[in-house]
């Protein structure tokens, strides 16, 4: 996308077929993002903005553990503990495992077994590179709507070739982006064209083993986000990967060739052909079913919505050759695009401000310090004892944080379940 295309015989043949006399090869304003910060600008959010629902999904928690995690978020909000990085939520859970009794009257029981299970899952997530995704500066999503100098909109590309190997993390990131746009953009009404279009590839990963509450929220966002001026395309190899409740909210369909390798595949294609808006020029549902399995490269069956919201008859479409380059950039070309990006330098340096980890450290220090004596008046033994315990706590928390935090990615839709107080405090 960031590099101009080149003429090819297949392109010339298609242009002649469509009687297109002028086809300009060009590059597009493109911005690269990478949770690891290696092949794009770092993409980060905070633990509180991800929220307990998506965090629980990311950690694969059971119902009991999920409820405990939600209580932990409520306690953090009530006590003013800022959950920014993974070490913050780990520090909070460590605190609750020792001081949980103090919160039970107001918030309910906090079983140590569940707290420990959540901590183990957090450690595993950090070991898979998840720590890099949580932190500050967090992504300023509205800045993605800024146009390039020539007035064209920008195309933002998230590197996912490594991320896709961690399906839950990938799903969390995609759902987080979806929900953040839903929350942050004002109502826009019925626009002629959207402000933004999200293309979510490998969409089946968003829905696999998703709990009912998460599916409900995805359906809610898919239904309402159009009013914010955002279009959403779920991209997958099989339309049945998308739940019917979500699929029913999607008016625009672009179907490339589908292959039927089993009776189950044939049943899915048959049902899909029957659900397409009819077009007498293309034949009946049986004919559409055959067409779906015999489409060639650069061909698709397309149905979109008219201005009054009604679906258009299904059309057999031939797709124009791309204006941009077919194939990946070289590493040198990619780095050149990153270097001249308007986002260069904005997210490169991580900011580590006082959050729950530091707040809980200070709480321990204050608990150990005598209330009626200034620091200078403490006996040396008391100062040494306090500093020793604090150092032990700090070392434990740092070891947890470093174990949690040597690696890579996470995020997603839990911001819908997040308290507005936490989000306001983070901003």
Segment 329-334 shows an average pLDDT of 95
For residue 267, the model assigns a pLDDT of 86
More confident call, 401 vs 147? 147
Cα(73)–Cα(287) distance, rounded to whole angstroms?
A: 54
CA distance 418 to 404: 23
Q: According to DSSP H, which parts of 295-355 are helical?
A: 331-339
| Tens digit of each residue's pLDDT (9 = 90 or more) over 278-312 | 899 988 888 888 898 899 999 999 999 887 778 89
The pLDDT value recorded for residue 368 is 75
Neighbours of 64 (CB within 10 A): 12
pLDDT at 346 over 80: yes
In this structure, what token pair is assigned to residue 124? 């595993």
Which pLDDT belongs to residue 399? 38
- Supply the pLDDT for residue 370: 64
In the prediction, which pLDDT does 383 show? 39
Residue 154: DSSP 8-state: P
Q: What is the pLDDT of residue 391?
A: 41
User: Higher pLDDT residue, 360 or 216?
Assistant: 360
168, 209 Cβ separation under 8 angstroms:
no
Within 13 A of 13's CA, how many CA atoms are on the CB side?
5
Q: What is the DSSP string of 236-298?
A: -S-GGGS-HHHHTT---EEE------SHHHHHHHHHHHHHSPPBGGGBSHHHHHHHHHH--TT
Query: Quick one: average pLDDT of 40-46?
Result: 93
pLDDT at 382: 45
Q: What does the pLDDT read at residue 283?
A: 86
pLDDT of residue 398 exceeding 70, the answer is no
Instruction: Give the rounded percent of residues in the chain with a pLDDT score beyond 90.
Output: 45
pLDDT in tens, 138-180: 999 889 999 999 999 999 999 888 888 888 888 888 888 888 8
pLDDT of 394: 44
Per-residue model confidence (pLDDT) at position 371: 55
Average pLDDT over residues 44-53: 92
In this predicted structure, the answer to whether residue 407 has a pLDDT above a threshold of 80 is no
Q: Supply the pLDDT for residue 418.
A: 40
Q: Which residues contact 396 (CB under 8 A, 6 or more apart)?
A: 94
- Taking residues 31-56, report their average pLDDT: 92
CA 329 to chain centre: 24
| Confidence (pLDDT) at 227 | 87
pLDDT, position 286 = 86
Mean pLDDT over 333-359 rounds to 93
Average pLDDT over residues 239-249: 82
365 falls in which pLDDT band (50, 70, 90)? confident
How long is the chain? 427
**Higher pLDDT among residues 419 and 373, named by residue:** 373
Q: What is the pLDDT of residue 261?
A: 80
pLDDT in tens, 170-219: 888 888 888 888 888 899 887 888 899 999 888 888 888 777 777 887 88
What's the mean pLDDT in 336-342?
Answer: 95
Q: Which of 32-41, 118-127, 362-371, 415-424 has the lowest mean pLDDT?
A: 415-424
């Amino acid at each position: 996308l960031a590099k101009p295309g080149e003429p090819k015989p297949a392109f010339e043949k298609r242009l002649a077929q469509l009687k297109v006399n002028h086809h300009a090869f060009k590059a597009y304003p493109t911005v690269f993002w990478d949770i690891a910060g290696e092949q794009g600008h770092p993409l980060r959010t905070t633990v509180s903005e991800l929220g307990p629902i998506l965090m629980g999904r990311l950690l694969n928690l059971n119902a009991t553990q999920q409820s405990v995690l939600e209580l932990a978020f409520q306690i953090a909000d009530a006590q003013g503990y800022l959950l920014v990085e993974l070490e913050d939520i780990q520090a909070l859970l460590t605190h609750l495992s020792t001081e949980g009794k103090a919160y039970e009257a107001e918030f309910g029981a906090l079983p140590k077994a569940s707290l420990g299970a959540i901590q183990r899952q957090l450690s595993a997530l950090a070991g898979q590179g998840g720590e890099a995704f949580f932190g500050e500066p967090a992504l300023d999503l509205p800045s993605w709507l800024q146009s390039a100098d020539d007035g064209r909109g920008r195309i933002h590309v998230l590197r996912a070739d490594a991320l896709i190997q961690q399906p839950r993390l990938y799903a969390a990131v995609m759902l987080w982006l979806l929900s953040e746009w839903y929350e942050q953009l004002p109502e826009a009404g019925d626009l002629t064209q959207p402000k933004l279009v999200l293309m979510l590839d490998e969409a089946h990963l968003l829905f696999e083993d998703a709990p009912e509450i998460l599916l409900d929220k995805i359906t809610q966002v898919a239904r309402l986000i159009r009013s914010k001026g955002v279009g959403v395309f779920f991209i997958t190899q099989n339309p049945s990967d998308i739940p019917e409740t979500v699929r029913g909210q999607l008016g625009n369909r672009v179907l490339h060739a589908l292959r039927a390798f089993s009776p189950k595949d044939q049943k899915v294609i048959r049902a899909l052909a029957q659900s397409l808006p009819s077009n007498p020029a293309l034949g009946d549902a049986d004919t559409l079913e055959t067409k779906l399995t015999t489409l060639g490269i650069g061909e698709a069956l397309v149905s979109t919505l008219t201005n009054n919201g009604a679906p258009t008859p299904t059309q057999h479409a031939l797709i124009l050759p791309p204006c941009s380059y077919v194939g990946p950039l070289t590493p040198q070309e990619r780095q050149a695009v990153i270097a001249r990006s308007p986002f260069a330098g904005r997210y490169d340096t991580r900011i580590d401000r006082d959050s729950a980890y530091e707040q809980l450290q200070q709480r321990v220090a204050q608990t150990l310090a005598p209330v009626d004596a200034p620091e200078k008046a403490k006996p040396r033994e008391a100062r040494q004892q306090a500093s020793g315990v604090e150092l032990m706590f700090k070392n434990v928390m740092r070891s947890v944080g470093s174990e949690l935090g040597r690696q890579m990615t996470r995020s997603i839709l839990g911001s819908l379940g997040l308290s507005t107080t936490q989000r306001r405090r983070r901003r």
